[in-house]
Amino acid sequence: MAETERDTRAQAGQRWLQAMVETVLAEASIPLASSALHQPAVSWMTLPGARPTLSLWLAEEEAPRQLPFPRDVIEDCGAGIRRRHSYARSYIVRSLRQMGLVSS
């Protein structure tokens, strides 16, 4: 697979995962920080040797929450693999539950 195709899948996967995290937070009535306070409220960061991580600034919190994702999940979501979409949603809900943000 060409590096550009892999990058395209990763970017599409990050967009899909970010939208899914925002949807799960909205469904749980958990507000993100105002964009005036933190720019942006949701963003991706990747440190060398670490998993790509979605940084979440939630309203009323002083520091962002970190939600790391395996690279293969990101790429598979970007490729539109439905079973990975299902897994990713479960992973998101489970991770947010462990953070004490959602109850179901």
pLDDT interval class at 26 (50, 70, 90): very high
Considering only residues 46 and 30, tell me which one the structure prediction assigns the higher pLDDT. Answer: 30
What was the pLDDT predicted at 2? 57
**CB of 72 within 8 A of CB of 13?**
no
d(CA 71, CA 88): 12
Q: What is the pLDDT of residues 88-101, one digit of tens each?
A: 999 999 999 999 99
Considering only residues 60 and 83, tell me which one the structure prediction assigns the higher pLDDT. Answer: 83
Q: Is the pLDDT of residue 37 over 70?
A: no
Q: Is the pLDDT of residue 68 over 70?
A: yes
